[in-house]
Amino acid sequence: MTIASQIPMADPVRKVQRIQQITIIWMSIEAAVSLFAAWHARSPALLAFGGDSAIELVSATVVLWRFRAKSSHERIERHAARIAGTLLFLLAAYVVAASAICLLGFSQPRATVIGIAILAAAAVIMPWLAKEKRRLSFVTGSAALRADATESTLCAYLSIIALVGLLVGSIWRIHWADPVAALAIVPFMVWEGREAMHGKPCC
């Protein structure tokens, strides 16, 4: 491969590194605040969201490592894609467990201003991050970045679901609304995890 053929890819790689750095900073804040709010409000929806945020933080770090690696990109890509896909499967299991706890009546969430604020912020920030990652996944052909984009999308969905669930639970005392909605996303998580494990980038 000539130097000239490598130049067009240099700028997308820098953009990937920048978007992953932004993701890592935001997910660190999001995970810490949402898990604290989950403990304070005894909210399984916030707990699932905080767990998702922690997994997304790990995934973003893995993808940043992949795009900073100096060794064979193909080998690093395969490892990063498998790790990201595995994290999606873990996230699906985590959401099922948290939803089951709520549906079985072991926990009833309480209203929390901090939780509502972090969920509202995530509902705005995460779709933008997911859009940028999917676009860059197409440009770079990275399955690992595709999986990370999916996790950002799921984080946005979960933020909206958890937000609606907290509001509905607080106003109408319908405690099963948010876990049922969260369970509806699980098949999408499993599908995208499988696609990432097979090394398929965004198309």
- Distance (Å, whole) CA 43 – CA 115: 9
| Helix-helix angle 143-172:44-68, to 10 degrees | 160
Binned at pLDDT 50, 70 and 90, residue 122 comes out as very high
- Answer yes or no: are the C-beta atoms of 111 and 65 closer than 8 Å: no
Averaged pLDDT of the chain = 81
Give the per-residue pLDDT at 109: 63
**Which of 163, 199, 172, 195 is closest to 48 using CA atoms?**
163
Give the per-residue pLDDT at 45: 76
Give the per-residue pLDDT at 173: 73
Give the per-residue pLDDT at 121: 95
Give the per-residue pLDDT at 203: 47
- Answer yes or no: are the C-beta atoms of 64 and 24 closer than 8 Å: yes
For residues 143-148, average pLDDT: 84
- Distance (Å, whole) CA 121 – CA 197: 30
Q: Domain 24-197 is in which class?
A: mainly alpha
For residues 52-60, average pLDDT: 84
Side-chain-facing half-sphere of 153: CA atoms under 13 Å = 19
Q: Which one-letter amino acid corresponds to residue 134?
A: R
Q: What percent of the chain has pLDDT over 90?
A: 21
Give the per-residue pLDDT at 100: 85
Give the per-residue pLDDT at 40: 85
| Continuous H helices in the chain | 3-41, 44-68, 73-103, 113-140, 143-172, 177-197
- Distance (Å, whole) CA 52 – CA 94: 8
Q: Which residues contact 111 (CB under 8 A, 6 or more apart)?
A: 41, 166, 169, 170
Q: Which one-letter amino acid corresponds to residue 23?
A: T
For residues 46-54, average pLDDT: 83
Give the per-residue pLDDT at 200: 55
- Distance (Å, whole) CA 45 – CA 166: 8
Domain extents in the chain: 24-197
For residues 110-129, average pLDDT: 90
Task: Report residue 183: phi and psi, to 5°.
Answer: -65, -30
For residues 155-173, average pLDDT: 81
